[in-house]
Amino acid sequence: MNIRERQILKGSRVTLVPLEKKHLSKRTEFINDPEIQATLNFDYPTSIAKTEAWFSKNVLAPNRIDFAIETADGDIVGFGGYLNIDKVVKKSELYIFIGKAYWFGGYGREAYKLITNYGFIELGLNRVYGYQLGNNHKAHNSVKKIGWSVEGFLRDDITSHGEVKGRSIVSILRNEWIANPVYDEV
């Protein structure tokens, strides 16, 4: 398959839609769920008011893009996008979080592939990277299955939930993405 034919917004089960105000209550619900929050570094607990303020500040930011991840029925599976888009170096940090009801069954993996495809095709990136807390084994396994590499482990790198924790940095380069047929399968 020609890489320009790879799907960037719509897969077999999920679709990436631009984040809108109507999605913020579900985003807040997910962020406030203790099991989901354990994998994140967002303000916790958060409120609709704080989430709306965050949205207003970031919706027009030129160095990020945020998506809601939806099923064909309009159910919100999760959220993801790109932070710190660097157009000179052609790199960006991918983030994603999925609601507990969709942790199994490949929804997160499909969304990861769509967001990765979007970064390489639409944003013209050369490198997509992300950070994962050291104890987030589900996330580590997910990205390895789709061809990402662990670049290293940053010891005592971030304060998360009152503790200093380590985190892995993972990435995929454009040439690795081009050569990987798993990105044709969404």
CATH number, domain of 109, equals 3.40.630.30
Domain count, the chain: 1
Q: Are 147 and 176 in contact (CB under 8 A)?
A: yes
Phi-psi region of 45 (alpha: psi -120 to 50; beta: other; left: phi over 0): beta
- The whole-model pTM stands at 0.94
Q: How many residues does the chain have?
A: 186
Residue 155 makes CB contacts below 8 A (sequence gap 6+) with 166
Sheet holding 127-133, edge to edge: 14-18, 65-71, 76-86, 91-98, 127-133, 163-173, 149-160
Note whether residue 99 is domain-resident: yes
Mean pLDDT by 10 residues, the chain (186 residues): 85 96 97 89 88 96 98 95 98 96 91 97 98 88 94 94 92 98 94
Q: Which domain holds residue 61?
A: 3-129
